[in-house]
């Protein structure tokens, strides 16, 4: 185990995260369990089962006002304040069509059961129906005197129901395109419409605190039910799905009338979900929300797929999932997804140290949330502070529980984490000047520490026992609290009427400015405090006697951590550095530089041989303590990383949280990376051997493919050059086979190779041959879709034009060789006279000659028959023979060497002749 612990970390990879996915407003639930949430000007698609963000649909920089899924859940419709309507493909995360539909923002949208029609309700007092495939408006209904808030398609008839803030419900006939009924009865805005399964019983709910049930056959009111709260959501509940109070034989649902009752659920300003029966006009069940949302209103209510439960959206951007129990008597809150955590101030792992199961997170709020690492849902909310919680710490030892322990108050708890062994004790410090102890299994506060006169910015338990807790804050005070009595009084975290007060065992004024952090040594003998006064101080526990002061930082010191093996402590400062100090004399041993902003948190890893730090630059860095070298940098945040925690077996998990409201979980992948690297090396060696064998066998097609797979452009160039030596036809065949089945990424890589080769005149012919093969095998439309294609084309075109100009100059320069050889009469003209050598001229032939009687000499009679050009050639030959009789630099050289020298001169010539 010691050897395994000493293995250095080299890399961490993101494995899960809690991020902002809902900023309030529009939300829609699909039939496959996906939730579309408005996140500022974007749309986040969230899996309701895992809590993961599946897709992000980028908006048009304006807030989203309405969302609606198609019946099968494959398409999504959205509207924004830019007045644009968009039709999205959820699987591809692409916008299929955009159009402007109204003169004012759209408040609500609905899709009919076929998915072919879309209805929109707008603030311009109109409702419109659109043909989805055709992209045109089929109906435009005007009649409301105010904003149209809701639209609803009839499931069986060509009818549309609308409601607005004018207190009217209108029924429209899609065939005659006219209003067939106006249902009056409300006195305020109508915020929700829902139809019973039979399609003829309509419920309407609004902010006038009543619900009306209407008969659409006669367009009359059946019953009015007072609900005593302004409603934002109402939905009809089908019978036979174990919802509490919906059994037809229940005494609460029986009515003297023979009419079948309608059950519906409501959600509104009181933050509760209620189930009502139209038969008795009474509430048959009430489900209160968790304590973290108590008093907060609900803004949306929807029925889960297959009628499995209810989904509620709260005003504080939370999604609550309620599911009826099998006995049909009650409902339970099975999952709570936090849509917007706001700024993360601190976090800690909870559960067994070797395998944490939960994480406690303090946010820019008074509530501490406990998240499950499995699905990132909020399993508990620790509510009690009255201002923002700034710091957290978890006790190193779990409180033993008894089998007889009962939990009497579970309003703060979602599910039952205590059943899974979550018995962690958490300490928290807040801006309300209090320190609190919490039992995470029950969400109960075990003790309150009063005594600070300013915000408590740091808390820490002793490492070897849970007897002491240390706190410090903006009041510059350092306090030691005795928590043993409070933990012993309520070890199981049961609810109690009075929360005991914690007693301070020691206190001192520790610094001249705000204290930022507190760290306890592994043996509980020392503690270190860091402050904005640019110093860190080491104190003796438990009497708080000053041991040494660490001076050297140029800015405030944000964090400190004791080494687990050495007599040293590390500090992180606003001067962008980390420092390692000797506890014996307080001297600085090492300085770590690399962050570009303040360093906010740090932790030791690998038995004190490594450091992990996070900073205001949004980066997490891994350091080697001995060499002060930065081994790796991890980028997972867009703002300051305020919080960091290390957990898991052999420190395999790291959690970070920051100002971007994101909690990122990192997993150690060092061994996995090494295994993958070894496997890649093995595969590479095997391919290199196959490449060598292919070259030996002159199988250039296989060799080129292997060189490309190995991403070795140099060897690929050599293979193609060898193929070209075998002939252009064979080279073309090899290149066609190479580029024929390349993907877009591989095509881009191949074009990058061609671009690099094309810059060198020695390789340009190979580059042009491969480029020709790509253009032959792939359509231009395919090539234009490659990212960065325009830059590649520009680079290829510029060098190709240069090579073309150079080759053109060389071709024109080669004519100088022909001219020179023709001038030397070395080249024999086609059909011309034979050029004689000098020895042959000493013995002229008599054929074709006559004797000149006047001079007595022979006359060549054929010369009179030669053309003028031939005569000039003969004269030039005589001149050449005359020049040959004179010594010169080329006199003794053979004719082949002279021609070779002229060719070399022509090749070296770069300019025009």
CATH number of the domain to which 163 belongs:
2.40.10.480
Q: Please determine, for residue 804, whether its predicted confidence score (pLDDT) is greater than 70.
A: yes
> Does the residue 277 lie in any domain?
yes
- How is 360-401 classified by DSSP, letter by letter? EEEESSSEEEEEETTT--EEEEEE--SS-EEEEEE-SSPPP-
Question: What is the reported pLDDT for 853?
Answer: 43
- Whether residue 542 is preceded by a cis peptide bond, meaning omega within 30 degrees of 0, is yes
Question: What is the reported pLDDT for 715?
Answer: 86
Question: What is the reported pLDDT for 4?
Answer: 45
Question: Do 663 and 699 reside in the same domain of the chain?
Answer: no
Q: Please determine, for residue 300, whether its predicted confidence score (pLDDT) is greater than 60.
A: yes
> Does the residue 585 lie in any domain?
yes
Question: Do 364 and 416 reside in the same domain of the chain?
Answer: yes
Mean pLDDT to the nearest integer, 477-498: 88
Mean pLDDT to the nearest integer, 193-216: 94
Encode pLDDT of 613-648 as tens digits: 999 999 999 999 999 999 999 999 999 999 999 999
Question: Do 294 and 376 reside in the same domain of the chain?
Answer: no
Distance CA 710, CA 700 (A): 15
Distance CA 234, CA 240 (A): 19
Q: Please determine, for residue 459, whether its predicted confidence score (pLDDT) is greater than 90.
A: yes
Question: What is the reported pLDDT for 872?
Answer: 45
User: What radius of gyration do the chain's Cα atoms show?
Assistant: 43
- How is 772-837 classified by DSSP, letter by letter? HHHHHHS-HHHHHTSTTHHHHHHHHHHHHHHHHHHHHHHHHHHHHHHHHHHHTT-SPPTT-PPPPP
Q: Mind spelling out the 3-state secondary structure of 241-292?
A: CCCCCCCCCCCCCCCCCCCCCCEEEEEECCCEEEEEECCCCEEEEEEECCHH
> Does the residue 165 lie in any domain?
yes
Q: Please determine, for residue 860, whether its predicted confidence score (pLDDT) is greater than 70.
A: no
Question: What is the reported pLDDT for 893?
Answer: 39
What confidence category does residue 887 fall into, taking pLDDT thresholds of 50, 70 and 90?
Answer: very low
Q: Please determine, for residue 364, whether its predicted confidence score (pLDDT) is greater than 70.
A: yes
Encode pLDDT of 53-93 as tens digits: 999 999 998 999 999 999 999 999 999 999 999 999 999 99
Question: What is the reported pLDDT for 780?
Answer: 85
> Does the residue 278 lie in any domain?
yes
Percent of the chain exceeding pLDDT 70 equals 85
Question: What is the reported pLDDT for 250?
Answer: 53
Question: What is the reported pLDDT for 463?
Answer: 92
Domain end position, chosen among 340, 363, 392: 340
Q: Please, what is the Cα angle at 542 between 538 and 548, to 5 degrees? A: 15
Q: Which two tokens stand for residue 688?
A: 């290199």
Give the residue among 118, 121, 119 at the shortest CA–CA distance from 105.
121
> Does the residue 42 lie in any domain?
no
Residues 6+ apart with CB under 8 A from 271: 288, 289, 293, 294, 295, 296, 297, 298, 314
Encode pLDDT of 24-57 as tens digits: 999 999 999 999 999 989 999 999 888 889 999 9
Question: What is the reported pLDDT for 655?
Answer: 97
Are 580 and 625 in contact by the 8 Å Cβ rule? The answer is yes
Domain end position, chosen among 184, 204, 224: 184
Question: Do 200 and 174 reside in the same domain of the chain?
Answer: no
Q: Please, what is the Cα angle at 305 between 303 and 307, to 5 degrees? A: 60
Least confident stretch, 466-480, 777-791, 843-857? 843-857
Encode pLDDT of 303-319 as tens digits: 998 888 999 999 989 99
CATH number of the domain to which 723 belongs:
1.25.40
Mean pLDDT to the nearest integer, 679-702: 88
User: What average pLDDT is seen over the chain?
Assistant: 85
Mean pLDDT to the nearest integer, 344-361: 93
Question: Do 628 and 594 reside in the same domain of the chain?
Answer: yes
Encode pLDDT of 91-145 as tens digits: 999 999 999 989 999 999 999 999 999 999 999 999 999 999 988 999 999 999 9
Question: What is the reported pLDDT for 397?
Answer: 67
Beta-sheet pairing, 653-657 with 643-647 = antiparallel
Mean pLDDT to the nearest integer, 859-882: 43
What confidence category does residue 222 fall into, taking pLDDT thresholds of 50, 70 and 90?
Answer: very high
- Name the residue with higher pLDDT: 901 or 454: 454
> Does the residue 792 lie in any domain?
no
What confidence category does residue 375 fall into, taking pLDDT thresholds of 50, 70 and 90?
Answer: confident
Mean pLDDT to the nearest integer, 136-161: 95
Mean pLDDT to the nearest integer, 680-709: 87
Distance CA 64, CA 56 (A): 13
What confidence category does residue 851 fall into, taking pLDDT thresholds of 50, 70 and 90?
Answer: very low
- Which position has the token pair 């004791």? 562
Q: Please, what is the Cα angle at 797 between 795 and 801, to 5 degrees? A: 125
What confidence category does residue 913 fall into, taking pLDDT thresholds of 50, 70 and 90?
Answer: very low
How many CA atoms lie less than 13 Å away from 668 in the CB half-sphere? 20
Are 550 and 569 in contact by the 8 Å Cβ rule? The answer is yes
Q: In what order do the strands lie in the sheet with 468-473?
A: 456-461, 468-473, 477-482, 503-509
Q: Please determine, for residue 10, whether its predicted confidence score (pLDDT) is greater than 60.
A: yes
Question: Do 564 and 614 reside in the same domain of the chain?
Answer: yes
What confidence category does residue 3 fall into, taking pLDDT thresholds of 50, 70 and 90?
Answer: very low
Question: Do 382 and 241 reside in the same domain of the chain?
Answer: no
Distance CA 370, CA 349 (A): 10
Question: What is the reported pLDDT for 830?
Answer: 58
Mean pLDDT to the nearest integer, 733-759: 85
Domain end position, chosen among 648, 668, 688: 668
Which structural domain range is residue 159 located in? 101-184
Question: Do 563 and 641 reside in the same domain of the chain?
Answer: yes
Q: Please determine, for residue 417, whether its predicted confidence score (pLDDT) is greater than 60.
A: no
Q: At what angle do helices 700-709 and 670-696 cross, to 10 degrees?
A: 160
Question: What is the reported pLDDT for 702?
Answer: 85
- What is the number of other CB atoms lying within 10 angstroms of the CB of residue 220? 10
- Name the residue with higher pLDDT: 403 or 242: 242
Question: What is the reported pLDDT for 892?
Answer: 36
Question: Do 563 and 680 reside in the same domain of the chain?
Answer: no
Question: What is the reported pLDDT for 293?
Answer: 57
Q: Which two tokens stand for residue 752?
A: 């990058």
> Does the residue 68 lie in any domain?
no
- Name the residue with higher pLDDT: 198 or 641: 641
Mean pLDDT to the nearest integer, 188-209: 94
CATH number of the domain to which 293 belongs:
2.130.10.10
> Does the residue 842 lie in any domain?
yes
Q: Please determine, for residue 428, whether its predicted confidence score (pLDDT) is greater than 50.
A: yes
Question: What is the reported pLDDT for 904?
Answer: 41
Distance CA 361, CA 664 (A): 12
Q: Please determine, for residue 288, whether its predicted confidence score (pLDDT) is greater than 50.
A: yes
Q: Please determine, for residue 151, whether its predicted confidence score (pLDDT) is greater than 80.
A: yes
How many domains does the chain contain in total?
5
Question: Do 564 and 694 reside in the same domain of the chain?
Answer: no
Least confident stretch, 132-136, 755-759, 884-888? 884-888
For 229-262, b where at least 16 C-beta lie within 10 A, e where not — what string? bbbbbbbbbebebbbbbbbeeeebbeeeeeeebb
Give the H/E segment covering residue 176: none
Question: Do 351 and 382 reside in the same domain of the chain?
Answer: yes
Distance CA 451, CA 726 (A): 90
Encode pLDDT of 712-730 as tens digits: 888 888 888 887 777 778 7
Question: Do 461 and 591 reside in the same domain of the chain?
Answer: yes
Mean pLDDT to the nearest integer, 530-558: 96
């Amino acid at each position: 185990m010691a050897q395994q612990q000493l293995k250095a970390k080299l890399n961490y990879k993101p494995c899960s995260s809690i991020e902002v996915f809902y900023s309030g407003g529009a939300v829609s639930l699909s039939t496959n369990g996906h939730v579309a949430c408005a996140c500022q000007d974007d749309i986040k698609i969230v899996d309701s089962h895992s809590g993961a963000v599946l897709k992000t649909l980028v908006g048009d920089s304006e807030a989203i006002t309405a969302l609606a899924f198609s019946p099968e859940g494959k398409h999504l419709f959205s509207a924004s304040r830019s007045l644009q309507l968009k039709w999205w493909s959820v699987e591809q995360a692409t916008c299929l069509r955009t159009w402007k539909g109204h003169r004012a923002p759209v408040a609500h949208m609905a899709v009919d059961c076929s998915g072919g029609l879309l209805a929109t309700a707008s603030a311009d007092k109109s409702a419109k129906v659109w043909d989805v495939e055709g992209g045109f408006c089929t109906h435009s209904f005007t009649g409301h005197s105010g904003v149209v808030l809701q639209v609803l398609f009839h499931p069986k008839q060509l009818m549309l129901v609308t409601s607005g803030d004018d207190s009217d419900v209108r029924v429209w006939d899609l065939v005659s395109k006219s209003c067939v009924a106006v249902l009056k009865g409300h006195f305020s805005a109508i915020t929700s419409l829902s139809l019973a399964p039979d399609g003829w019983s309509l419920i309407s709910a609004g902010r006038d605190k009543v619900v009306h049930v209407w008969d659409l056959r006669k367009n009359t009111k059946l019953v009015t039910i007072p609900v005593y709260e302004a409603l934002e959501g109402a939905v009809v509940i089908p019978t036979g799905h174990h919802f509490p109070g919906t059994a037809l034989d229940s005494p609460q649902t029986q009515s003297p009338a023979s009419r079948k009752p309608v059950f519906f659920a409501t959600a509104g300003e009181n933050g509760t979900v209620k189930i009502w029966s139209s038969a008795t006009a009474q509430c048959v069940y009430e489900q209160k929300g968790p304590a973290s949302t108590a008093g907060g209103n609900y803004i949306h209510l929807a029925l889960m797929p297959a009628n499995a439960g209810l989904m509620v959206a709260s005003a504080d951007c939370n999604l609550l999932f309620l599911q009826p129990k099998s006995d049909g008597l009650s409902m339970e809150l099975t999952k709570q997804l936090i849509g917007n955590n706001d700024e993360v101030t601190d976090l800690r792992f909870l559960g067994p140290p070797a395998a944490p199961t939960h994480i406690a997170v303090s946010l820019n709020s008074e509530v501490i949330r406990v998240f499950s690492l499995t699905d990132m849902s909020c399993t508990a909310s620790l509510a009690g502070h009255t201002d923002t919680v700034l710091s957290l710490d978890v006790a190193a030892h779990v409180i033993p529980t008894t089998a007889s322990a009962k939990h009497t108050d579970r309003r703060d708890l979602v599910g039952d984490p205590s059943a899974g062994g979550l018995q962690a004790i958490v300490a928290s410090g807040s801006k309300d000047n209090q320190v609190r102890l919490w039992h995470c299994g029950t969400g109960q506060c075990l003790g309150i520490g009063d005594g600070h006169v300013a915000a408590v910015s740091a808390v820490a338990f002793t490492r070897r026992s849970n007897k002491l807790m240390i706190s410090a804050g903006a009041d510059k005070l350092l306090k030691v609290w005795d928590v043993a009595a409070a933990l012993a009084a309520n070890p199981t975290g049961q609810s109690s009427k009075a929360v005991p007060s914690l007693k301070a065992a020691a206190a001192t004024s520790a610094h001249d400015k705000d204290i930022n952090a507190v760290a306890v040594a592994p043996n509980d003998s020392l503690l270190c405090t860091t402050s904005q006064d640019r110093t860190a101080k080491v104190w003796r526990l438990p009497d708080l006697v000053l041991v040494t002061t660490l001076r050297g930082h140029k800015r405030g010191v944000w964090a400190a951590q004791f080494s687990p093996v050495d007599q040293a402590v590390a500090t992180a400062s606003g001067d962008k550095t980390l420092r390692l100090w000797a506890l014996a004399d307080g001297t600085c041993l090492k300085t770590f530089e690399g962050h570009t902003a303040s360093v906010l948190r740090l932790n030791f890893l690998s038995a004190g041989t490594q450091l992990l730090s996070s900073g205001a630059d949004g980066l997490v860095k891994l350091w080697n303590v001995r060499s002060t070298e930065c081994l790796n940098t991890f980028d997972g945040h867009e703002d300051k990383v305020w919080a960091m925690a290390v957990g898991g077996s052999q420190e395999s998990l790291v959690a970070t949280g920051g100002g971007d409201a994101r909690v990122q979980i990192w997993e150690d992948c060092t061994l996995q990376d090494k295994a993958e690297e070894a496997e890649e090396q093995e595969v590479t060696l095997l391919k290199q051997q196959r490449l060598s064998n292919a070259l030996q066998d002159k199988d250039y097609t296989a060799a080129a493919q292997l060189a490309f797979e190995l991403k070795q452009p140099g060897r690929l160039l050599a293979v193609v050059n060898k193929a070209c030596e075998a002939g252009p036809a064979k080279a073309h065949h090899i290149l066609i086979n190479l580029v024929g089945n390349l993907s877009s990424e591989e095509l881009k890589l191949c074009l990058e190779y061609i671009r690099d080769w094309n810059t060198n005149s020695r390789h340009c012919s190979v580059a042009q041959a491969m480029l020709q093969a790509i253009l032959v095998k792939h359509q231009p439309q395919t090539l234009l879709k490659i990212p960065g294609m325009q830059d590649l084309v520009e680079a290829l075109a510029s060098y190709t034009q240069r090579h073309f100009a150079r080759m053109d100059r060389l071709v024109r320069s080669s004519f100088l060789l022909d001219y020179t050889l023709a001038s030397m009469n070395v080249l024999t003209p086609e059909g011309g006279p034979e050029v004689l050598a000098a020895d042959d001229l000493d013995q002229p032939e008599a054929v074709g000659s006559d004797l000149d009687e006047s001079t007595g000499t022979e006359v060549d009679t054929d010369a009179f028959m030669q053309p003028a050009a031939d005569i000039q050639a003969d004269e030039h030959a005589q001149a050449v023979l005359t020049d040959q009789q004179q010594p010169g630099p080329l006199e003794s050289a053979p004719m082949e060497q002279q021609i070779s020298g002229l060719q070399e001169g022509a090749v070296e010539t770069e300019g025009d002749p």
